[in-house]
Amino acid sequence: SRENYSLYPSSIKIVHRMSSKKENDTRLSRKKLFSPSAERNKVPIWDVISKILPSVAQNTGRGGEASFVDEKAEQQLRVLEIAAGCGVHTNHFMTEITNAQGDEQKAVPMNVKWFPTDPEESSRESINQWIQENPNEKVQEYTEPSRSLTLGEDGVMEGNSFGDDLFQLMVCINMIHISPWTSTVGLMRFANEKLIVGGALYCYGPYKIGGTAVESNLNFDQSLKSRDPSWGLRNLEEVVKLAEENGLRLERKIEMPANNLSLIFQKL
């Protein structure tokens, strides 16, 4: 009871509080998920995104000369991450962005606001935990709490549609092949709605080209379809056509490790 607690010696009170905090920290840590594949590909993906950020900043007039101390929201470069997963990527990218502050050799816009989303509650909790545990307070300050977002054929099927908010960059890593085709349709429609002119959509993952791929990717395709017939590697030509139908032009295709591709689409 509170009365009995008030009689504890102060040293016991401190131990009790520390014990409670440790139990709470352990409980929170259990929400933190890990992804070996995300750990492997976070660096090469960041190498690409770090070059996209200055480009979209220049194209859209955002974030180029601002700093983290600039509180003008209209100067922020806003990034929307779709299907962010467990948070390994979100945490790594924002760590790199904040660490680049003041480094003239790293041409990364400073005033970046990152908006991670995922349809799974466990993933959203994990994202938040990764950010919470990051020792850099700027990462926590400039990363929004993760939000629920599920894409369908008509765009946002469930979750936060972000109202009238617009973004300079959208990032979608390893979603297109691990979701129904309708999610990709929704992604392109949502990008058309939420990207400002000159903004970019970045997609990463494995694709078929001309209906085929290397043997390892074909095996991966069959494995995905055995788990869910609506999943599987998409034909790059169909993804590009869908993007074009939604006002997006493929600006660059970059070969990545493990037979993956980085695709950079620009909003026209």
Q: What is the 3-state secondary structure (H, E, C) of 43-109?
A: HHHHHHHHHHHHHHHHHHCCCCCCCCCCCCHHHCEEEEEECCCCCHHHHHHHHHHHHCCCCCCCCCC
- pLDDT for position 100: 83
Q: How do residues 148-164 score in pLDDT, each as one tens digit?
A: 999 999 888 888 778 89
Q: What is the pTM assigned to this prediction? A: 0.85
Q: How do residues 225-259 score in pLDDT, each as one tens digit?
A: 999 999 999 999 999 999 999 999 999 999 999 99
